[in-house]
Structure 1
């Protein structure tokens, strides 16, 4: 199975040189980390929350996540990338095996990990349909490939697309990500792809986002789910974030850190209706 790009030329440049320039622009942007990533050393699994809007809007915030990742990886890495299903296509929760084609080359899936995951975790299907037009996982791929170019590291991905984001489903996915990571003794990173509040005034969005950011920093996945529902927070990928937190706790994570938060208003200057973007690290 070859999964071709669905949003190249829209969410990010389709031409390779322009794409590299855009990614480096995100790192060096005033809202970005300010430096191009350097090589690192893998010591333990890490998890990040990373936005998935067009690079012009959320790329500088996303660059904080990948700058943190770059310092904590080497050799061969399995990147579990969880994203919400925006298209409504395919299964409730799905993974897929094959090649993800992108402007910077092909990225292969970790088929050994995926085979165990969908066979052991009852809520996950093997279904490429969910992935064909979904952008939430795709926009993470060029950032990973850019790290490969810089760091002599090699990623294989485990893409998980979640239409079902209820609490029980999300924590089950997280549990099995951790279980299989340990059984296969993989060097694993877990990327939860999510934007925060959508299309509300800056002052409303920032207050709502502060609630979920606090829950993520507390690594309290149950409180995160409750707060999203009770406060009507339009965070599109709360299920992927819950799964990531659960996986990281099962893998022994003790620390969390907010790396960056901003909104689309910080790019456009229009604060009347914004989308919130956050980068967080759990290790």
Structure 2
């Protein structure tokens, strides 16, 4: 059994289970009270994905809580994250077992992970891309609390390539697996993208660059997103995972419109009060209808 141990517990978030649960519940409660977090029944039926930030909870927890508030998680969540370490393969899929958090283990959907690796040569069963990567780990406690007693399984994918042709083909293959998952479970699985926005520039520059990237993201346009971050020098670490999600959703339902809504957007300055060097955090809900 592949049991992935926490790599950043005690640093990005508390490793004390009771404190962690209370922290996550507080962020979710705060988020649920925000008008922007409301999710109409009609929209909920078409919810296909989310984008959440992955900084330490003290910085990103407000955005995560607002974006996850009112969302009912399906049995299986496909987690697409960037590769900050350079380890592993271009599209590293954690193949089986579970991911341990201070709140307990989160089982991997081994069947869907296997199908994903069989679907495309670019997806490969590989744990090295994940062992030191923080960008899925920091989100799992939120998913655990949101799921409550309902079953929750994940398919972790670490994206280490930003090449549009590779991501487009991979998205087509991912779409087939998403449909297999929907047929098995009787409900659409969720794509969850882990990404921060622009990094380590001043507040004004970061907000401007974030807005450029978000404009493409809100349209569900993978090509425009990748082109924009490259052209404008936007250090959005999860642009490739988000593009992969958009490619997959367009391939999964070619006649559907893919769009996103912005739930919350702020920077690290909201906590640090340092406007000279900030990181942007945005929460998106992605719909296919």
Q: Same fold (TM over 0.5)?
A: yes
Q: How many residues align?
A: 274
Write out per-residue CA displacement over residues 55-113 of structure 1, whole angstroms, 9 at most, x where no aligned residue.
Answer: 0001110112211533xx4xx52100000111111112210121111111111111111
Q: Distance in 2 between matches of 1:65 and 1:118?
A: 30
Hey, what does 1:279 align to over in structure 2? Answer: 283
Alignment of 1:64-103 (within 5 A): 64-70=66-72, 73=73, 77-96=75-94, 97-103=96-102
Hey, what does 1:174 align to over in structure 2? Answer: 171
Hey, what does 1:27 align to over in structure 2? Answer: 28
Hey, what does 1:4 align to over in structure 2? Answer: 5
Hey, what does 2:153 align to over in structure 1? Answer: 156
For residue 154 of structure 1, give the secondary structure of its aligned residue in structure 2: coil
* TM-score normalised over the length of structure 2: 0.89
Hey, what does 1:199 align to over in structure 2? Answer: 200
- The Cα shift of 1:178 comes to 1.7
- The Cα shift of 1:222 comes to 0.3
Segments of 5+ residues of structure 2 without an aligned counterpart are: none
2:54 to 52, 60, 74: 52
For residue 171 of structure 1, give the secondary structure of its aligned residue in structure 2: helix
- The Cα shift of 1:140 comes to 1.4
Hey, what does 1:232 align to over in structure 2? Answer: 233
Q: Is the 8 A contact 1:98 1:109 kept in 2?
A: yes
Q: Is the 8 A contact 2:53 2:63 kept in 1?
A: yes
Q: Which moved more, 1:209-218 or 1:160-169?
A: 160-169
Q: Is the 8 A contact 1:45 1:248 kept in 2?
A: no
**C-alpha spacing 1:269/1:28, structure 2 compared with 1 (3 Å):** farther
Root-mean-square deviation (CA, aligned residues, Å) is 2.1
**C-alpha spacing 1:159/1:37, structure 2 compared with 1 (3 Å):** farther
Q: Distance in 2 between matches of 1:171 and 1:33?
A: 35
* TM-score normalised over the length of structure 1: 0.91
Hey, what does 1:61 align to over in structure 2? Answer: 63
Hey, what does 1:113 align to over in structure 2? Answer: 112
Segments of 5+ residues of structure 1 without an aligned counterpart are: none
Q: Is the 8 A contact 2:28 2:68 kept in 1?
A: no
Q: Is the 8 A contact 2:119 2:174 kept in 1?
A: no
- The Cα shift of 1:45 comes to 5.2
For residue 62 of structure 1, give the secondary structure of its aligned residue in structure 2: helix
- The Cα shift of 1:279 comes to 0.4
Hey, what does 1:130 align to over in structure 2? Answer: 129
Q: Distance in 1 between matches of 2:240 and 2:177?
A: 19
Q: Distance in 2 between matches of 1:174 and 1:63?
A: 28
Superposed structure 1 runs of 4+ greater than 4 Å apart: 35-38
For residue 9 of structure 2, give the secondary structure of its aligned residue in structure 1: coil
Q: Distance in 1 between matches of 2:102 and 2:29?
A: 21
Write out per-residue CA displacement over residues 221-245 of structure 1, whole angstroms, 9 at most, x where no aligned residue.
Answer: 1010000000000011111000111
Q: Distance in 2 between matches of 1:232 and 1:103?
A: 37
